[in-house]
Structure 1
Amino acid sequence: MISVNQIFKEKINYIFFLSLVLVFLELLLLPGSYVSFICRCIVLLIFLFCFLKKQYLTFSILAIILEFFVVVDLVTKRMADWYFYQIPLEIISICLDTNFDEIRSTFNFSKLEYYLIFLLILNAVLFSYVFFQKIDVSKSWYKTGNKKSAVIFFILFSLFVLGFKPIRVTIKTLVLVAPEIVADYKKIEERKSFSWGARSTDLNPITVVLFLGETHRGDHLQINGYGRETTPNLMTQNVISFGNAISQASYTLASTPMILSRKNVNDKGIFPEKSLITAFKEAGYQTWYISYLKQAHIGDNEINLIIKEADHYVRAGVDSEILRQVLDDRSEKKLIVYKTIGAHFLYHDRYPKDFEFFVPSFDSESYRVPQPVEKDIVRLINSYDNAIRYSVDFQINSIIELLKQRQEQVVFCFVSDHGTAIFEDGKSLYGGSSPANYNIAWFYWFNEEYLKEKSHKKLVNFLKAHVNEKITSEYIVDTLFDLSGIQTDKRKGYSLITEKLSQHPRRVLNGNTVVDYDKIFTKNKHEEGYLFTK
């Protein structure tokens, strides 16, 4: 029988060494604490020692394990580097509750990283083939005196786990939330029997459109005083916009249920009540949910449950013809919830070439993983503002023009699920605890038929009186009920249809923790930095 050392000495090739070079680079360059860095250095020193001492079996098995950890850490780094290792559940949730395009945009590996992953996988396959085809592992392991390899491997494996923060944080978080996962199944059954007891007090035909934006920041809207022409069309549409609005969470899966239901920041897991869609149904409305995503995603989470409440589901982007067909339905009362990909990262993928108004910007050919340097930040902001100009100004203006043709009363509400960071603090990009991730676009529009009624004008005046107030998306549900003439005893307790808003802390989810936004983010850095004011 050929010895273990001889086999591995003969089979180590340039692919293996090239892989290891890239592994070393990734290990040393990945972010982490001093403990993490020291652990990695120890791993590399022992790894090198095994090679120099011709402990090829230990060396080779450890190499495969190292490759596995590097791939895992590389993937988590692409997300965790933006989320500061604070909320790994977001990574899991985004992967389970989205389409391939959003996953690709979120991770967006560089060419070097794709090359690294390919080499790591190829190397593992080649090694596995050599190992299992040529060697009697059980006999060779003991014959060559490599029992000590097991001890060495265990020590190195422990050090490696200790050195990789994303893995530790993810495992710890999953253990902590395991009871919530079990409880969610019970809540799903409980919500099936929930009723709003809602009724309509207005006999007139009415259409209510709730447009859920994606990654749209209010401080990048011209209608809110932003110094660039990002919303020139909406400037002429008499929209009522709230410039100091924030979302209660910084990512879609957490923020959307709080926008559409009575769920709040202190409610963990699945909320045992149905959304406002069911309230409108009880009040006699036909309901639609239009989205660029398929109706059901992997994982039975809250957004899936909310979508299923609607009478009709339509998969489409922002399409005036699709919306026209829905509007032409004979139902006198309609609720249309519209969800699009909006300005979701990658920003340059969210608008056609002829909407490249602000330059220089990124495109598919020139894009690479951006760094927090002025050249990249300027291109990112230009790309983002182009996405705003297209997905908010152009698309929403086209919807408003279509709604102007309607004979029934129309209430239109646009609210984004969350904002986005663009390196305002020098490190955050799409996600995490930067205040820019909570800043949202939020505005209303009403047609002439709605404004004809004196009682409606009073409601609209209430809105106008509060446009400068510091508010959160928790005001959506009750405000929409009041504007639509829907009554129910089950209120959220926050409506903009009032003479004076009650002052209370703006509580948001920061990772898995509830915090007071205005205390944590006392200095709103997203209002400074590289934002254009001229």
Structure 2
Amino acid sequence: MEKSKLQQEISFHLRLQILIVIFITIASYIHLPFGSLKGNFIYGFHFLLLHFSLFGFIYIISLLKKVFNILLPILFIIASSFAFWVYTQDLTIGVGMIQAILETNLDIAMDVFNFPFILFLILATFTIVYFFKYHKNHQKSSVKSPILIFAIIGIITFFVVENYKFDAFKNRLPYSIYFNTIKYFDKPNITLKKVTQNVLTKENNLQIIVVIGESVRADHLSLNGYYRNTNPLLSQQENIVSFHKTYTPFTFTAQSIPQILTNQSIDNVEKNIEFTSLYSVLNKASFKTEWIGNQTLEKSYKDIIYENSSRTIVDKFHSFLSFKKEKDLVMLNYFKDDNNEYVNNITTFHMIGSHWFYNSRIDSSFMKFKPIITSKYLGSSRKEDIVNSYDNTILYLDFFLNELIEKLKKSSKKTILIYISDHGETLGEDDMWLHAQEHKASKNPAMLVWYSNNFEKSYPLKIKQLKSKKQDSITTDFLFHSVLDIGEIKNFDYLKGQSIFN
């Protein structure tokens, strides 16, 4: 290949990569807390690998010159429009945002077209159009070019890195746009069975509160004997029963939530089997069902949540990847106590909880255990600092549950609260960290129950049974059957033997 043509190729692709950095990819890194020099190095290396893989895909597409000259500017403008919100608001390009774009009414969507966004989009459009016009006669790529070998290596790099660390690139721009669009159109892993029975209950004035936590392990609650006082408020509350031997085999949210909220057993993980959601049964029994969540909905359990008669997703465009994610206490602003004695209701809170990056989940006033982590890169932090930051999120959970309980105490209803984390968290055991790990620390989620005095007076035998099982080993199968047992549900078969109240 002629030297001049090779130089044109290198010049074109190098300049294109620089534009992509400025308008798109740097947005995924600009909000990251790098912390130490090591953290800076690791994320810098990650950034370079991402661009090397991106170069590989772009180069292969550029072999089709006419397609490339039309397609690349369009994709550049689309990706830039997403990047603007990541730049300015630290929004997450996830399934929730893709859904909002594809399903939202035009008049609502128009709200995002503010002046800075339009200005950024005009600048991106002008830049990429001028860039291609300036390079229209330049050599872009050729199957005879030695650069093709590097492009192939770049593509291989993508798959190698993804195999080493799942979603290492897929959660970064511009890959996140493509892969989350694919997720949006994927079918859920669980098929919901419709409830056709004439389900009913003779109970009234019953209020069930389910709080689903995130990444909270049972052995870091001082209620369960942890050496630190991580539950200073809950330990002062009466009517609390904490279970420290809860088991789930599912170590990440997309798997655990569908199992917890349906009659799927932990022993039944086969696909294409129909399961019944908790809310579909309670709806049939004339319960008022309400969901208040601080996590973006995932495809695996979205349909379950949509069976609630009322749904509120707080801060739905900031996922766990965002450092501007709302704190869980905001959810309490959306909870209104219904004192209608003829209505039974169930409200489910879904917390962001103790999901990594721990410091992002709490306010500074809860950073009691110090020193804390300063970098999102685990390898640049000491184990002690990571555990300190994690335990601070347990302090925040303690405050959240205590605030909710104090609200519930004012209710005239027969009220019971069940807290269950979706899974646990590994904190350096066997050199493992976070969750989605095959380790016992990820499979022992925190779980506790609080009940009102009115509830105890109405159901003394249930409370007696509850207290007697405090030391029992249970699985997350318990929730579905326990809630239906509380509601004295008739004409629907559930396993009373799985109920912690029976």
Structure-1-length-normalised TM-score: 0.61
Structure 1, unmatched stretches of 5+, are 20-24, 31-39, 41-60, 70-93, 101-124, 171-179, 500-534
Q: Which residue of 2 aligns with 1:334?
A: 345
Distance 2:330 2:17 in 1: 51
1:226 match: secondary structure: coil
1:200 match: secondary structure: coil
Report the AA paired with residue 334 of structure 1.
N
Conserved in 1, the CA contact under 8 Å of 2:245 and 2:471? Answer: yes
Task: Find 2:383's aligned residue among 377, 383, 386.
Answer: 377
Identity score, percent:
21
2:230 match: secondary structure: coil
Distance 1:351 1:261 in 2: 30
Report the AA paired with residue 248 of structure 1.
P
Q: Which residue of 1 aligns with 2:280?
A: 278
Report the AA paired with residue 354 of structure 2.
A
Report the AA paired with residue 477 of structure 1.
F
Question: Which of the two has higher C-alpha Rg?
Answer: 1
Distance 2:461 2:366 in 1: 38
Distance 1:184 1:150 in 2: 39
Distance 1:187 1:10 in 2: 50
How far apart are 1:278 and its partner, in Å? 1.9
Distance 1:304 1:444 in 2: 26
2:424 match: secondary structure: coil
Q: Which residue of 2 aligns with 1:487?
A: 490
Conserved in 1, the CA contact under 8 Å of 2:195 and 2:280? Answer: no
Greater shift, 284-293 or 1-10, is seen at 1-10
Distance 1:470 1:183 in 2: 36
Q: Which residue of 2 aligns with 1:360?
A: 371
Q: Which residue of 2 aligns with 1:64?
A: 55
Distance 2:290 2:273 in 1: 21
Q: Which residue of 1 aligns with 2:440?
A: 435
Q: Which residue of 2 aligns with 1:290?
A: 292
Q: Which residue of 2 aligns with 1:416?
A: 421
Q: Which residue of 1 aligns with 2:235?
A: 235
Task: Find 1:389's aligned residue among 392, 395, 398.
Answer: 395
Conserved in 2, the CA contact under 8 Å of 1:195 and 1:274? Answer: no
How far apart are 1:330 and its partner, in Å? 6.5
How far apart are 1:226 and its partner, in Å? 0.7
Conserved in 2, the CA contact under 8 Å of 1:207 and 1:334? Answer: yes
Distance 2:388 2:265 in 1: 34
Distance 2:98 2:13 in 1: 40
Conserved in 1, the CA contact under 8 Å of 2:223 and 2:235? Answer: yes
How far apart are 1:96 and its partner, in Å? 3.2
Deviations 1:408-460 (A, max 9, x none): 2111111111111222222323332222222211111111111113xx22212
How far apart are 1:150 and its partner, in Å? 9.2
Distance 2:17 2:501 in 1: 69
Distance 1:157 1:186 in 2: 32
Distance 1:183 1:67 in 2: 26
Conserved in 1, the CA contact under 8 Å of 2:189 and 2:272? Answer: no
Q: Which residue of 2 aligns with 1:96?
A: 95
**Structure 1 residues 402 and 271, CA, compared in 2 at 3 Å: closer, same or farther?**
farther
**Structure 1 residues 152 and 368, CA, compared in 2 at 3 Å: closer, same or farther?**
closer
1:337 match: secondary structure: strand
Cα RMSD (Å)? 4.6
Report the AA paired with residue 403 of structure 1.
L
Conserved in 1, the CA contact under 8 Å of 2:6 and 2:145? Answer: no
Distance 1:165 1:319 in 2: 35
**Structure 1 residues 397 and 484, CA, compared in 2 at 3 Å: closer, same or farther?**
same
Conserved in 2, the CA contact under 8 Å of 1:411 and 1:444? Answer: yes
How far apart are 1:487 and its partner, in Å? 3.0
Q: Which residue of 2 aligns with 1:306?
A: 304
Distance 2:190 2:431 in 1: 41
Conserved in 1, the CA contact under 8 Å of 2:332 and 2:404? Answer: no
Q: Which residue of 1 aligns with 2:329?
A: 318
How far apart are 1:395 and its partner, in Å? 1.1
Deviations 1:349-388 (A, max 9, x none): 12211111111123xxx334122x8x62111111111111
**Structure 1 residues 377 and 98, CA, compared in 2 at 3 Å: closer, same or farther?**
farther
Distance 2:309 2:389 in 1: 37
Deviations 1:77-123 (A, max 9, x none): xxxxxxxxxxxxxxxxx9536999xxxxxxxxxxxxxxxxxxxxxxx
**Structure 1 residues 492 and 134, CA, compared in 2 at 3 Å: closer, same or farther?**
farther
How far apart are 1:230 and its partner, in Å? 0.5
How far apart are 1:164 and its partner, in Å? 5.2
Q: Which residue of 1 aligns with 2:355?
A: 344
Q: Which residue of 2 aligns with 1:166?
A: 163
Deviations 1:267-326 (A, max 9, x none): 4446634411122222221111111246xx5x7x34221121111123444358646624
Distance 1:276 1:12 in 2: 54
Distance 1:495 1:409 in 2: 22
Distance 1:210 1:223 in 2: 19
Conserved in 1, the CA contact under 8 Å of 2:222 and 2:231? Answer: yes
Distance 2:354 2:189 in 1: 36
Deviations 1:473-518 (A, max 9, x none): 011111122223223442156524477xxxxxxxxxxxxxxxxxxx
Distance 2:258 2:215 in 1: 16
1:406 aligns with 2:407: no
Deviations 1:204-251 (A, max 9, x none): 411111111122211111111111111121112231111011233111
Distance 1:164 1:323 in 2: 41
Conserved in 1, the CA contact under 8 Å of 2:339 and 2:413? Answer: no
**Structure 1 residues 411 and 360, CA, compared in 2 at 3 Å: closer, same or farther?**
same
How far apart are 1:66 and its partner, in Å? 8.5
Q: Which residue of 1 aligns with 2:224?
A: 224
How far apart are 1:6 and its partner, in Å? 5.0
Conserved in 2, the CA contact under 8 Å of 1:194 and 1:273? Answer: no
User: Alignment length, in residue pairs?
Assistant: 390
How far apart are 1:258 and its partner, in Å? 0.8
Distance 2:484 2:402 in 1: 24
Conserved in 2, the CA contact under 8 Å of 1:351 and 1:387? Answer: yes
Distance 1:186 1:417 in 2: 17
Distance 1:387 1:219 in 2: 14
Distance 1:12 1:137 in 2: 7
Conserved in 1, the CA contact under 8 Å of 2:95 and 2:184? Answer: no
Conserved in 2, the CA contact under 8 Å of 1:358 and 1:386? Answer: yes
Q: Which residue of 2 aligns with 1:513?
A: none
Distance 1:165 1:63 in 2: 13
Q: Which residue of 2 aligns with 1:452?
A: 457
Distance 1:326 1:68 in 2: 58
